[in-house]
Amino acid sequence: MKFNDLLIKDSSGEKSVTVTAFVLGFIVINIKLLLSGMTIEGVKFSDFSGTDYGTSLAALGAVYIMRRHRSVKTNSEMAHKEEEV
């Protein structure tokens, strides 16, 4: 199985590393929230407050928006250069 087969498609139907990273980050943050304060097989998971959760989601969302904006800007610049040729 290739890495490219694991990527999630974005709204345009193309496989996207950004969307895949965002979804995986969201899953990890929610698992961390669900396991916070629990002890499983002698392993105690640290507390994860609402503030920690909000901060993590805000940081993840900011990275997603910055990458998405950069890819849109790059695509529009490439289209503009093609029109000039």
Domain count, the chain: 1
- The identity of residue 37, as a single letter, is G
> What is the pLDDT at residue 85?
53
Hunting for tokens 């139907």 — which residue is that? 13
> What is the pLDDT at residue 58?
92
- Specify if 14 maps to a domain: yes
Q: What is the pLDDT along the chain (85 residues), one digit of tens a residue?
A: 676 777 878 777 888 788 888 888 999 989 988 888 888 898 888 888 889 889 998 998 898 888 777 766 665 555 555 555 5
Domain interval for residue 26: 3-79
- Specify if 46 maps to a domain: yes
- Specify if 85 maps to a domain: no
Confidence (pTM): 0.66
Residues 22, 3: Cα–Cα separation, whole Å: 16
- Specify if 31 maps to a domain: yes
> What is the pLDDT at residue 81?
56
> What is the pLDDT at residue 27?
92
- Specify if 84 maps to a domain: no
- Specify if 9 maps to a domain: yes
DSSP code per residue over 4-21: HHHPEE-TTSSEEHHHHH
- Specify if 21 maps to a domain: yes
- Specify if 69 maps to a domain: yes
Residues 48, 7: Cα–Cα separation, whole Å: 29
Burial (CB count <10 Å: 0-12, 13-18, 19+), residue 35: middle
C-alpha dihedral sign at 21, 25, 27, 31? positive
